[in-house]
Structure 1
Amino acid sequence: MSRWPSNSRGRLAQAAMGMFAERGFDQTTVADIAARAGLTERTFFRHFSDKREVLFHGGSHLEEVMTAAVAAAPPDATPLAAVAAGVAAVGPAFEGGRTGSRLRQSIIETHPDLQEREAAKLCHLGLALAESLRARGVAEPVASLVADVGIAVFRAAFAQWLASEDDDIRTLIDQYFDELVKVAQSGL
């Protein structure tokens, strides 16, 4: 028998999300979360640095997936095509998770500090994408501009995905990049 309960991180995250939805973010303590999960506060802090991290711990995974896909793009891919591949690569991370993503987003939208943290996470993703482009030999300012455009497409597609029932996020990301290319080609 293991010393620690299995899937402690998942239990803590599930308990936290439920309590944030029921009580609100500010009214929920780490002690409350740990108790609901049947774990200790110490166990909570082994998995999360604070209760905000429950909402944002997936950012590093998104960054790894995006930057790996940019790096793996064909050598002749344009900077925009490489970023589009990076952003679209996160699609599987959201499969089957619309309900949880909606809950997470509703919690973030009710708390200014969480909104700021979400903006910082997206900014960090943009910086990582720009660095990936620079590693491919893309110079500034193109690397930063294209990375920021990629994050804007991700944000718009994510918002639409949360509001819809039918579309998968990867399809939306691809559609939004296609629309962006059409706008750029039209000379607007």
Structure 2
Amino acid sequence: MSRWEPGARERLQAAALDLFAEQGFAATTVPEIAARAGLTTRTFFRHFADKREVLFADDTEMPAMVTKLMAEAPDTAEPMELIVQGLRTMAETRFEGRRAALRHRRDLVRSDEGLRERDLRKRAALAEAVREGFLARGLDATRAALLAETCVTLVTVSIAEWLDRDDGRRLSGIVDEVLDRLRAELA
């Protein structure tokens, strides 16, 4: 087995996604994933805590990205301005060009209760990072919590609409559209 070849993580992810598509998430085992990738089970566990993490590993970077974006934003930036700019940045850097893979991931998450639970935990971690960022910027706890939950709802709804469409629109444009709808509802 070619354990030390570069790209082991990507090969494991590709093998896992192929197997999940072929036989379902629940029926796929870690040894099968490793074998399909031409790697060992030990190598799998160097990259992922479990097979669910194959689908969510990239999400662990999101709270750190939020923290960095908020820390680097000008002190004069308004909270909603931070949210919109942050969502646009994430849309362009983390999601664009990955629509088919993200649709597949969404279908897998919808098919398994444990994956849905993990997805909710990842969303909660993102909301907590946003909340902490606003607290660090001096907002009161209630406002920080409301803005954090609004941010996560905006991104969740925007991504769902983007994945459901095939009209070529960019996610950042859909973020703006969803935000406009929210503003209209609150007016």
TM-score (norm 2): 0.93
Match of 2:31 in 1: 31
Instruction: Indicate the residue corresponding to 2:70 in structure 1.
Output: 70
Instruction: Say whether the 8 Å CA contact 2:96–2:170 is kept in structure 1.
Output: yes
Equivalent residue letter for 2:5 = P
Question: Please, which runs of 5 or more residues in structure 1 have no aligned partner?
Answer: none
SS at structure 1 position matched to 2:11: helix
The one-letter amino acid paired with 1:79 is P
Partner of 2:131: 130
Counterpart residue identity of residue 182, structure 1? A
Does structure 2 conserve the Cα–Cα contact (< 8 Å) formed by 1:67 and 1:132? yes
Single out whichever of 175-184 and 6-15 deviates more from structure 2: 175-184
- Structure 1 counterpart of 2:173: 171
Structure 2: stretches of 5+ with no match in the other structure: none
Quote the residue 1:105 is aligned against. 106
What is aligned with 1:7? 7
User: For the residues of structure 1 that align with 2:147 and 2:100, how far apart are their CA atoms?
Assistant: 30
Contact 2:30–2:44 (CA under 8 A) maintained in structure 1: yes
How far 1:3 moved relative to its partner? 6.9
**Whole-angstrom CA distance in 2 between matches of 1:162 and 1:50:** 26
Q: Which moved more, 1:80-89 or 1:160-169?
A: 80-89
What is the Cα deviation at residue 60 of structure 1?
A: 1.9
Q: C-alpha distance in 2, partners of 1:29/1:132? A: 38
Describe the SS at the equivalent of 1:117.
helix
The match for 1:182 is: 184
Q: Which residue of 2 aligns with 1:153?
A: 154
Question: Structure 1 residues 100 and 160, CA, compared in 2 at 3 Å: closer, same or farther?
Answer: same
CA contact (8 A) 1:69 1:89 kept: no
Q: Distance in 1 between matches of 2:52 and 2:101?
A: 16
CA–CA distance in structure 2, aligned partners of residues 124 and 171 of structure 1: 25
Partner Cα distance (2:153, 2:40) in 1? 39
Shift of 1:107: 0.5
Runs of 4+ that moved beyond 3 A? none
- Which secondary structure does the structure 2 equivalent of 1:50 belong to? coil
Query: Match of 1:68, as an amino acid?
Result: K
What is the CA–CA distance in structure 2 between the aligned matches of 1:27 and 1:3, rounded to whole Å?
24
One-letter amino acid of the counterpart of residue 168, structure 1: R
2:140 aligned partner, one-letter code = A
Amino acid at match of 1:159: A
Q: Between Structure 1 and Structure 2, how many residues are aligned?
A: 184
Alpha-carbon displacement from aligned partner over 1:119-156 (angstroms, at most 9, x marks no partner): 11101100110001111111110001100000000000
> Any conservation in 1 of the 2:3–2:40 contact (CA below 8 Å)?
no
* Identical-pair percentage: 38
The CA RMSD over aligned residues, in Å, is 1.5
